[in-house]
Amino acid sequence: MNNIYQALAKLEATNVSAALCTVTRSEGSTPRHVGSKMLVYTDGTFIGTVGGGELENRVIKAAVASLRDGKAQTLAYTMADPSRGDPGVCGGQVEVFVEPIFPPATVVVIGAGHVGKAVVHLAKWLGFRVAVNDDRAEFCTPEATPGADAYYPVAMEKLAEQFPVTNQTYLVVTSRGSGVDAVGLPSLLASNAAYIGVIGSKRRWATTVRALKEVGVEDALIEKVHSPIGLELQAETPEEIAVSIMAEILLIRDKGSGASMKTS
């Protein structure tokens, strides 16, 4: 059990998701007692046990499903007759609560210019974990861009090799040009990021789209991108643009409507 608690403590530090499975009810003859725990990772590997055998196999599959859809669930099993679909013959009944655990949602700012720095500040203030990526090492430091939790001074196309992009990751591309985006985006578009936004005008994005298609990026992946980035606020300053960007991220994360509170 200590190994499970230690692994739980590491989840946030390593930006990893897992599902905690706990036996919450046990009546009659069952493999494990109430409080038994198992921690299941997204690839189906696990620590601990809730009983082994077919019971555990089903719980692992349910845990992986919970990590995909983000929903907790209570699983109830009767351990009596495998011929009718039961996962065992012990004779008892067992319930297992499956709780998906995700690291804090992370905003990754790609391009540490004026707008990027403003996004870092605002995203951190809003409670996100924040990472900065820039291929210009002098921009990608705590001194140059203060406030982030992690810094990745590598080319955009190398970012996914060093940072695990998950469905809790919000990518904010505030790079210095379409040429950088066209080279760096394909590997990020192939990820399951919750959000990918790219700064720039409609013309700049159209130029990037043409370049992406020339290297074979599919339309379905390109359509994942929000560009021009952010909500229409008539924003001009870096700080105003950061508000526009983070407002769009909050809108998507929390499934808001974007309507004025006065009329909604």
pLDDT at 37 over 60: yes
Does the pLDDT value for residue 99 go beyond 90? yes
Q: How far is 188 from 165, CA to CA, in rounded Å?
A: 8
Do 62 and 44 touch, CB atoms closer than 8 A?
Answer: no
**Average pLDDT estimate for 135-155:** 96
Q: Tell whether the model's pLDDT for residue 81 goes beyond 60.
A: no
Q: Classify each residue of 106-122 as buried b or exposed e, where b means 16 or more C-beta atoms within 10 Å of its C-beta.
A: bbbbbbbbebbbbbbbb
pLDDT grade for 264, boundaries at 50, 70 and 90? low
Domain map (residue ranges) of the chain: 2-101, 106-253
Q: CA distances (Å), 168 to each of 16, 69, 115, 158, 254, in order? A: 10, 12, 22, 19, 12
Angle at 124 between CA 122 and CA 126, to 5 degrees: 70
Q: 134 with 159: CB under 8 angstroms? A: no
Q: Which fold has domain 106-253?
A: Rossmann fold (3.40.50)
56-69: pLDDT as tens digits:
889 999 999 999 88
Confidence (pLDDT) at 240: 97
pLDDT tens-digit readout, 221-256: 999 999 999 999 999 999 999 999 999 999 999 999
Q: Quick one: CA torsion of 228, 229, 235, 240, rounded to 10 degrees?
A: -160
- What is the rounded distance in angstroms from the CA atom of residue 259 to the CA atom of residue 63? 36
Average pLDDT over residues 104-118: 95
| Sheet hosting strand 106-110, strand order edge to edge | 150-152, 129-133, 106-110, 169-173, 195-198, 225-226
